[in-house]
Every structure is written in C-alpha cells, then in structure tokens.
Structure 1
C-alpha cells in the first residue's frame, strides 16, 4: 500500500519541529481511548513522510501496566522528568480514583509547573483535576462520571463536549473522542489537509469539534421523536436536585397535566412522575458508587427531602438500600465508574 503522502497533500508551511507525547497509562486504563490518541499520530507520520510525532509510554512502576481488557503494555519510562515541550496525555479507565496515586499527582504537578501541556483521556480528567490542574478551566469527562465530578471539583467548568482544549489543558469524554482531539492537534500543527487524510485512513467520516456533545440526542436515546416530550425530559435532566412538579412541567410546554400523563404513557409506558424518579435514582446510584459522599448528601443532591424517603424509593427500584448498595461493592466500588468507554 503506497503512502498517503503520494496524493499530493500540501503540508502547512514552516514545518514544526518534532513533537513528543508522553502517554501516562494508569492502571486499568481504557484501550480504546489510548488507541484513538496514538494511532492518528502514527498515521500522521506516514502521511507526512517523516517522524513528525514521537511518543513514550509512562507509568508509575516504569515497567508494565495492564489495561481494562486485560492486555498488558511494556512501558518506556517511569515518573521521570520530561522535556518542557512534551505533551502529557493521561489515560484513565476503570477505578480511576484508585489509580490516581500520590506519586502520579506529584509528577503531574511538577511537570505542569515546568510548563508541560497536560490532558486527560476518558476518566483521566479526574486525575488531572485531582492534581488541581483544571481549576478555573473548561473540561469534559465521560457522561456517566459527570455527576460525581461536579460534586468533587466545583472549580472546574465541566461541559458535555466530546473534547475540550483550554489553554495547555485538554480532556476528552472517552471512547473515540480521542481521535477528534488528535485530529484537531494535527490540523493545528500541519494543516487541515493532513488531518483530513489521517481521518480518511482511519475510515473516520464524521470529525467532531469541541462544539459537539458526547451523548445522543434525547429523541435518539428514548427512540421517540416528539418535541414536547423531549423538552420535558430535558427539563427533568437539568433539574434533579430541585424536581419540578408534573403540573409545572406540563404548563412550561403548553399542555395540561392529563395530556402530559397520556404522552408519557403512550411513548414510555410510565408516568412522568415515575420517569423523573428513575432519573433521580440513576444519578443517586452513580454518586453512591463513584464518590464518598454521605448517603444523606446523595439524597439531597437527587431531590429527596429525607434519607428515609430516599431509602424507600431506592429499595423499591433497585431491590436494595443505598447503604447496602455501597457496602456490597466495597470501598473500591465507591470510586469506580460503572462503565468506562
């Protein structure tokens, strides 16, 4: 197969010098996010016909690390000092809180003081935020981790974007979002033509920007295209801590309460009140499993006025109490995302 460079691609004038990335692989990192970041660099080198990008794999023990699917990677380095011009991309995954150790935090803070650009892929935005490197900055993280992230890092301006670049700090939502971030970097370094050719090589036909959101639209998620139903669900999702009454929801979209009831029954086979309760309980379960918030504070964050009412509703839906849920998963599960893309 001939090199894509043969297509006559015009590289941005004034070729930049070689750029190095240091991938800090946390224990049980997600392979998809890592591959989505490193493969565009490899292909960009092929397109350009030179080693425009080089990289090193780093980890706390400096020898080997295992990702969430069980595959192991040999490391090039431990937590050694790097060059000021290097870009550090922290790769997270399952149990990111446990994988975010004190030596890793100290290393990130040190390299940040020395001027390195630093990013977090997938759940690793947590690690970068824990090091205090996202305070006052915009960031993103996988949608399932957003509730717990907001509770812990109040000084970070969390978005729902696929990826975010704020100065010399970067973050992605996980999964294939790493590809979009790297294509943006390649375009800035070498021009849109090169980035587009890299995307073609990846069979990546829909390049996303930082304006794209990570979750499917409400109609796509629920499998129903009804504008007023989508509008009500959006209001519910945005008002978990202070729930809105069905009567007020109906009024806001120009319907009667009875019409709203019929709409939910027809398309979702449940009442608006039941659907709203399920959203609140889902957030509560995320907070119980991903944070060390007290059960009382979880209840308040999800719109329950009393722990007893929260426990009753939780038991009815999940067949266990909030206390048993947390205890059955152990301390590690409190800090563990249920899913890592």
Structure 2
C-alpha cells in the first residue's frame, strides 16, 4: 500500500459535453472511502479550464472549484470527456497536461477523455482505453500511432489510469483504493455501492454478445462473433455456415427466430453501424470508409446507407459539420478546432 500520511489529492477536469455517469462513477467511490474509513483519505476537487461551470451532455451545468493550474499540486488529474471529443483541442489544457507529465503527476481519463490525453502527447508509449464507440475510429485513422487503445473496461499502465464509459470508472477507482489503502476498504466501498464484484483489468467493456442478442443459442452467438470480426472483408453466408458447422438453411432459421431478420440483413446493419461511427468520428474519405466496412464500391455503400438512414454518407458528414459549427466547444481563449476540414469528396452521384 502507498503512504497514507496525507490525503491523496485528485482533480477532475470537466470538458464541455462530458458524460455525468462515468464522472459520478469515478468520484463517488472516493467519497465513500472517506465516509467508511471516517478519514480524509482522498481530497477531491473539480476543475474546468476557465473556472466556469461546465455543461454536461445531459444538459446539467456543473459548478467547479477552480480553474486548471490555480489549485494546489495534485497526485492524480482525471480528464472527464463525453460527446464531440474529437472537436476539442485547447492549447492551454494540453500544455498544462504536458507540464504535469514532466512533473510525473499521475494522469487519467474517463469515457472519451483519453482521446484528449493522447492528443496532448502524454500517452505516447502507454496503453489506454476509450469508450468502445470511439475505438474503431481511432484505430482506423491511426491518429495516435504511439498509443495503444484497448477494449478493456479500464487500464492502469504505470502512472496513467483510463476507464471507458458507463460505470467502468467505478472499478478503476476501486483498484486505486486497493492500491492506496488495501482490498478490505475497496470491498467495503463496492458493497456500499451495491456493486456485484470488483471487475478486473482483463474484463472487456462491451456487454457479452449473448446478452446483447438476448439469447445464448450457441450457433447464433458463434456466427455473429464471426460477423463482427470480419467487417472489412465480409464472409459469405455459405462461409459462415461452414465455419459454424451448420447449414445455410438452419442459419437463416436461427436468425429469423431469434433476431427477426435474415443473416445478410443483420450483417449489413453491423457494417452500416461501423460506417456511421467512422463518418461521425473521423475525417476518412467516404471511399475509404466504404472499403473499411466491406462494401464492393462507393456507389453500393451510398445506396445501402441511404436506404438505411434516409440520406447519403456525404449528407451525414455535412449535417455533422453544421451541428458542430452551431455549438461552441471552446475550452478557453486559445481553443482551436481539433478536426481538420474534410478532404474533398466526390458527389454521391459520381461515387
């Protein structure tokens, strides 16, 4: 265990549109640890770049204790991210994080906050996690080649602590409590939070496939797993049936019975979902997104996308730019857009 002579000082930095659930899941275990132990083991404060209240993604405005840099030295600084993280790039915040890294302050993030840590250059050579909706975009663009993004619930790599969204930060902070004050206190906090168990570093963040499908039918789970692992080069229905050691007809019956659709329709929905994430979270050309999601040609991708969403991929991109242009995402006076203008795209009619 660590030296407990003084409170462990934690600063939580709220970004615009941050997600309140992972923030609460990170901060509440520390409060519970103080309450249960009847000691001030953790000294917690909340900050923003300019010291002003921050609006969460659910619309609630949260008051903060101070601006970054105006507080006493911290043992741990946690960045709390959420929506539109790819558009945030604050020079003052990035410079502050780099100064903390040089002073060997522990740095961390919840939800999408690790994206900003990587963007600031303080995650080079580290492993970290990110909410699963954003991992595919980061990997596809290879934007941070010196940072390894993993699908785990949370990652503790030396002096970097990162957790995905939802309640995953609760487990990460329970491990921090264990490291600082022992497993008994961590287990007591877990019980206080009515948390079934303290999940491990090896646990993955996505809900098990059999739970998401609403069935434990083994052949169906096996085939959907194959589909999710082969987005870039989709397998044919015959190949899926062969790998699952079943017949094509039996496969079609399973999908209709349990999922209410054909295997090809389900596979297409998976690929279109991946494509939409890449459209919204990256600046990859639409042609590259079509290839990355297994479509035989850009026109085929455009048609499938329009049939599913009622508009084309390029219209989706334009709507995204329009939304971002009407929402102020400034963190401070020196904020600059983090996302470069999209590369020129051919019109849908010529794709």
TM-score (norm 1): 0.88
Of 290, 294, 310, which residue of structure 1 is paired with 2:301?
A: 310
1:206 matched to which residue of 2? 197
Of 21, 27, 34, which residue of structure 1 is paired with 2:16?
A: 27
Pairing 1:259–2:245 present: no
The runs of at least 4 consecutive aligned structure 1 residues that moved more than 4 Å come to 81-85, 331-334
Q: Deviations over 1:215-241 (max 9, x none)?
A: 221111111221111111111111111
2:147 matched to which residue of 1? 156
2:2–2:179 Cα contact (<8 Å) kept: no
1:58–1:75 Cα contact (<8 Å) kept: yes
Give aligned pairs, total. Answer: 324
Q: Deviations over 1:156-195 (max 9, x none)?
A: 3222211111111111111111111111100111111111
Offset at residue 60 of structure 1 (A): 1.1
CA distance in structure 2 between the partners assigned to 1:257 and 1:13 by the alignment: 58
Q: Secondary structure at the match of 1:88?
A: strand
Of 88, 112, 124, which residue of structure 2 is paired with 1:123?
A: 112
**For the structure 1 residues 89 and 13, does the alpha-carbon distance in structure 2 shift closer, same or farther, using more than 3 Å as the test?**
closer
**For the structure 1 residues 81 and 297, does the alpha-carbon distance in structure 2 shift closer, same or farther, using more than 3 Å as the test?**
farther
2:170 matched to which residue of 1? 179
Q: Deviations over 1:65-116 (max 9, x none)?
A: 2222222233233231766662110001122223342222222122112211
1:84–1:115 Cα contact (<8 Å) kept: no
1:85–1:115 Cα contact (<8 Å) kept: no
Q: Secondary structure at the match of 1:118?
A: strand
Offset at residue 266 of structure 1 (A): 2.6
Cα RMSD (Å): 2.2
2:183 matched to which residue of 1? 192
Q: Which deviates the most, 160-169 or 83-92?
A: 83-92
Q: Which deviates the most, 42-51 or 314-323?
A: 42-51
Pairing 1:276–2:267 present: yes
1:27–1:67 Cα contact (<8 Å) kept: yes
Of 131, 134, 139, which residue of structure 1 is paired with 2:128?
A: 139
Offset at residue 14 of structure 1 (A): 6.2
Query: 5 Å matches for 1:1-341?
Result: 15-80=4-69, 86-151=75-140, 152-330=143-321, 332=323
Q: Secondary structure at the match of 2:9?
A: strand
CA distance in structure 2 between the partners assigned to 1:122 and 1:317 by the alignment: 28
Unmatched runs of 5 consecutive residues or more in structure 1: 1-11, 337-341
Unmatched runs of 5 consecutive residues or more in structure 2: 328-351
Q: Deviations over 1:140-164 (max 9, x none)?
A: 1122222112223343322221111
